[in-house]
Amino acid sequence: MSEIFALDEISVHFSLGGRGLFGGKARTLRAVEKVSLEIADGETLALVGESGSGKSTLGNVVAGLQVPTSGTLRFRGKSMDADIWKAARRDIQMVFQDPFSALDPRMPVSAIIAEPLLIQGTASAAERHARAADLVRQVGLPLDALNRYPHEFSGGQRQRIAIARALAPDPALIVADEPLSALDVSIQSQLLNLMKELQERRKLAYLFISHDLAVVNHLVDRVAVLYLGRLIEVAPRAELFATPSHPYTQALLAAVPRIGRRRARGGSVIKGEMPSPLAPPPGCVFHPRCPKAQAICRTEPPVLEAAPGRPTQRAACHFKD
Ligand code: SF4
């Protein structure tokens, strides 16, 4: 599989205030810190982690909604510049968690789905209508949905409309940010099946952002685990679920008993809160919560590298399994 999109040492920092009414120094929120990842054609890569791990910020970087503070982006092997972004914007589409706020309530579904084509200016009105009709069918909605408005649909149906809209420019990669988490479990599984079918039919790649490892286990090829904006483990799904290497991944999996796998060695529910990205701990950022932490962990940041005997599974831990 060839690479569609790559991030090389991407950081996203936000400068917060300072010098307000009460003075004080400006502070830096380190949402994403030196993350390197690649996404291949037709692949589903999951970004997982707790709230505040930086996964949505990283998804926004891939979708072109957030400019990184440093690092480089590549699209189909070429470093990003304005021209490459122009091509990438067609090829990379996004599906958001809340389809209701993502869909314009004043527009009929046909116009919502066809809007990306209207913006591109590459299709006539008749072509746009035909494309919208084809796409509602592909996402399992009746043809009369085209003339209705978002409020007339259920949450699951609205997410189908959002997926149809994302498919309109015929993208190669869809960034899906928690696309199922606002839906009932039975609707989630229908949407998961739809996403899988569309992927097989259209050779799509997904960057699937989720906090739900049970859902991730049903859909993805590889999993990237983020903690406090750092990539702390990345591996093929089966390896990561069978033999998680990083203590944080082990703890995340231990907290999801319904997944049929052996319990990770040393896995336990994570204690404490994630530290603030305004003041990340020195050394390994997981050390305040890690049951395996030793003196070196408090001073030396671990490097992301292969787990013992598992070249495709990389973890950032001085004492990885
Ligand atoms: Fe835990 Fe140390 Fe590994 Fe960090 S480097 S995950 S603190 S054992």
| Structure-model confidence comparison of residues 84 and 150, the more confident one | 150
Assigned domain for 177 exists: no
pLDDT tens for 101-112 read: 778 999 999 999
Q: Is residue 280 part of a domain?
A: yes
Contact 243, 259 (CB under 8 A): no
Inside any domain, residue 266: yes
Q: How far apart are CA 260 and CA 251, in angstroms?
A: 15
Residue list, ligand 1 pocket, CB within 6 Å: 246-247, 284, 286-287, 290, 292-293, 297, 302, 317-319
pLDDT of residue 23: 61
* Rounded Cα gap, residues 309 and 201, in angstroms: 36
Q: What is the domain count for the chain?
A: 1
Residue 28 is assigned to a structural domain of this protein: no
Among 155, 139, 13, residue whose Cα is nearest residue 98: 155
Q: Give pLDDT tens digits for 295-306.
A: 999 999 999 999
Which range of residues forms the domain containing residue 273?
A: 243-321
Pocket test for ligand 1, best of 226, 318, 321 (most atoms within 8 A of CB): 318
With 60 as the cut, is the pLDDT of residue 33 above it?
yes
Please report the pLDDT score of residue 267 as a whole number. 46
Q: Does the residue 1 lie in any domain? A: no
Distances (CA, A) of 13 to 83, 97, 207, 259: 25, 23, 22, 35
- Mean pLDDT (the chain, rounded): 90
**What is the predicted pLDDT for the residue at 167?**
96
* 311 — pLDDT class (breaks 50, 70, 90): very high
CA of 294 to the centre of ligand 1 (A): 7
- Note the pTM of the prediction, 2 decimals: 0.91
265 within domain boundaries: yes
> Is 31 within the bounds of a domain?
no
Report CA(234)–ligand 1 centroid distance (Å): 16
Q: What angle do CA 183, 186, 187 make, to 5 degrees?
A: 45
Model pLDDT for residues 228-273, shown as the tens digit of each residue: 999 999 999 999 999 999 999 999 998 876 544 444 444 456 778 8
Closest C-alpha to ligand 1, atom 7: 287
> Does 87 reside within a domain?
no
What are the pLDDT digits (tens) for 38-79? 999 999 999 999 988 999 999 999 999 999 999 999 999 999
Q: Around Cβ 187, how many Cβ atoms within 10 Å?
A: 17
